[in-house]
Every structure is written in structure tokens, then in C-alpha cells.
Amino acid sequence: MGCFTFLKVMMILFNLAIFLGGGALLGVGIWVAVDSSSFSNLFGSTNVLQFVNISYFLIVIGAILVVLGFLGCCGAQKESKCLLIMFFSIVLIIFIAEIAAAVVALVYTSLVSQGVERPQEGRVAEDLSSVLPKGDWWQLPGPVKCCGLTNYTDFTDSYYYQTNNHTYPPFCCDPVHSPCNRTGAETSKVQGCFQQLLSDVRQNAGVVGGVAAGICALEIAAMVVSMYLYCHLD
């Protein structure tokens, strides 16, 4: 088996796997969009909007993978220069978009980190209370064990603070208890959610970087193989 034939077979198998994986994601996405209540019951969540958003994401990603797998598989099987160059172009666009997104994420994280270091004087809490249900929004940071964006002071003069005898949400005190007054929150020094998020990202940076590097390597390999086949076709 020559190099051309070997790469052609590998291209077909690789893109067939991409096509089947994309079809599976597309099917799950459509299922979630049509019957989100079953997923809500399965995961014990009442936030149907969350599943709807996930369904749209799965549909988009699945559709892209289906198209990509079809172009690569058929292009290699039929030895079509047109399909191969379309496959190469789409992978190249995705690769460039990923690099641009990574750069923007690094710059944005740095800028936001600098902005968060400045006192917000309750502005964050007021902004949240204007867009989220007043009875529930303050409970959002609870599962991740943090308080406010920067710290407990983000809740000062918020709806919760004003309607609960000038106290803070229970998770702003350590150990968690209610009522949580200013002294308790000040002494506990529970970190803000943004700092915790940054900390979690830094702790998992190796795993995320490894996965990203693996995806980029696969994309580069796919582009090289598709271009090799393209250049060796009559």
C-alpha cells in the first residue's frame, strides 16, 4: 500500500468518525430542544432555559462536524479536488477562529481581572438584581462557595441586603449561616466568584491546554493530509 492510498484510507476513516460523532451530537441537540423537560427531570434541574441553550450549542457543533466529515470522507473517497479544498478551507477557518478566540480570552481575562480589583461599591449586585428574579438571583454563587464578584461588598445596598435587615447572603460567611452580618462576612473573607473562577481556570490550565493542543494537532494533520491528497490528484 502506497503512501497516497494509506493517507486516503486514514482520511476516510477519520472523517467517517467525525461525521458519525457530529450526527450523534446533532441528534442529541435536536432531542434536547424538542423534549427538554425529560432532560430536566433526568438531571434534577428546573432551569429549562439551560437545556435549551445547550441544545442550540450541540446542534451548531453537530451540524459543523457533519458537514466537515462529509466533505473530508467524500472528498477522499471520490478523489474530488473541490471537496478536499472545501474541507481544507473550513478546517483552516476553524483553526484561525480558535487561535483568535484564545488570544481574545487571554486579553479579556487580563483586562477584567484588572477591573475587578477596583471597588465596585455594590454596582454588581444592583446590575444583577435588575436582570434576574429578585427572589432568586442572590442564590447563584452558593454552589461554588464564593460571594459576589469581588467580595461580600458587592451585595451592599442590593435588593437582598435591603429586604433582609441589612444582612448578606448566608454563603458570604464561613461557616455558612444566616443571618450573615457585616462583621461575620468581613471576618470570614470568603473570596469573590471571579477570583475563584480564575483560580479554577489556572488549576486546570494544563488539562485545558493539553486538550486544546491535541485538537489543534488533529486540525493541522487533517489540513496537511487533505492538501497532500489534493496536490497528488490528477
b/e burial code for range 182-207 (CB count within 10 A of at least 16 → b): eebbeebebbbbbbbebeeeeeeeee
**Cβ-contact 179, 167 below 8 angstroms:** yes
The one-letter amino acid code at 210 reads G
Q: How far apart are CA 71 and CA 85, in angstroms?
A: 9
**Cβ-contact 174, 190 below 8 angstroms:** yes
- Three-state DSSP at 48 gives helix
pLDDT at 128: 46
Looking up cell 449561616, which residue turns up? 177
Mean pLDDT by 10 residues, the chain (234 residues): 84 91 87 72 54 77 91 90 92 91 75 52 46 42 63 79 82 79 82 75 75 87 91 81
pLDDT at 151: 79
The one-letter amino acid code at 110 reads S
Q: What residue segments make up the domains of the chain, in order of their start?
A: 3-117+207-231, 123-196
Rounding to the nearest 10 degrees, give the CA dihedral for residues 32, 35, 37, 43: -40
| Number of CB atoms found within 10 A of residue 173's CB | 23
- The β-bridge partners of 168 are 180
pLDDT at 96: 93
Report pTM.
0.62
